[in-house]
Amino acid sequence: MMTPYTEEHLMPETARCCGRIEVICGSMFSGKTEELIRRLKRAKFARQRVLIFKPSIDTRYSSDDVVSHDSNSIASTPVATSEDILRRGLEMDVVGIDEAQFLDDGLPRVCNALANAGVRVIVAGLDMDFRGQPFGPMPALCAIADEVSKVHAICVRCGRLAAFSHRKVDNERQVLIGETAEYEPLCRTCYNKVAARPAPISLFDEGDGKATSSTTPHTQNNDIPRRPDNDGTQKNYL
Q: From the CB of 192, what's the least distance to Zn ion, in Å?
A: 10
DSSP 211: B
User: Is 99 noted as a catalytic residue in this protein?
Assistant: yes
- In the chain, which ranges are E strands? 20-26, 50-55, 65-67, 73-75, 77-79, 94-97, 120-126, 147-151, 153-154, 161-162, 164-167, 183-186, 226-228, 234-236
Nearer to Zn ion, 150 or 160 (CB): 160
How far apart CA 62 and CA 76 sit, in angstroms, is 10
Nearer to Zn ion, 69 or 157 (CB): 157
Q: From the CB of 186, what's the least distance to Zn ion, in Å?
A: 6
CA 14 to mean position of chain CA atoms:
30
The site for Zn ion (CB under 5 A) is made up of 155, 157-158, 160, 187, 190
Q: From the CB of 222, what's the least distance to Zn ion, in Å?
A: 22
Q: 24, 35 in Cβ contact below 8 A?
A: yes
Nearer to Zn ion, 10 or 155 (CB): 155
Nearer to Zn ion, 116 or 165 (CB): 165
Q: From the CB of 5, what's the least distance to Zn ion, in Å?
A: 45
Q: From the CB of 37, what's the least distance to Zn ion, in Å?
A: 27
Of 125, 126, 127, 130, residue with least CA distance to 183:
130
Beta strands 120-126; 20-26: pairing state: parallel
* Catalytic entry in 22, 35, 99, 184: 99
- Exposure string over 12-42, b if 16+ CB within 10 A, otherwise e: eeeeeeebebbbbbbbbbbbbbbbbbebbee
Nearer to Zn ion, 94 or 187 (CB): 187
Active site residues: 99
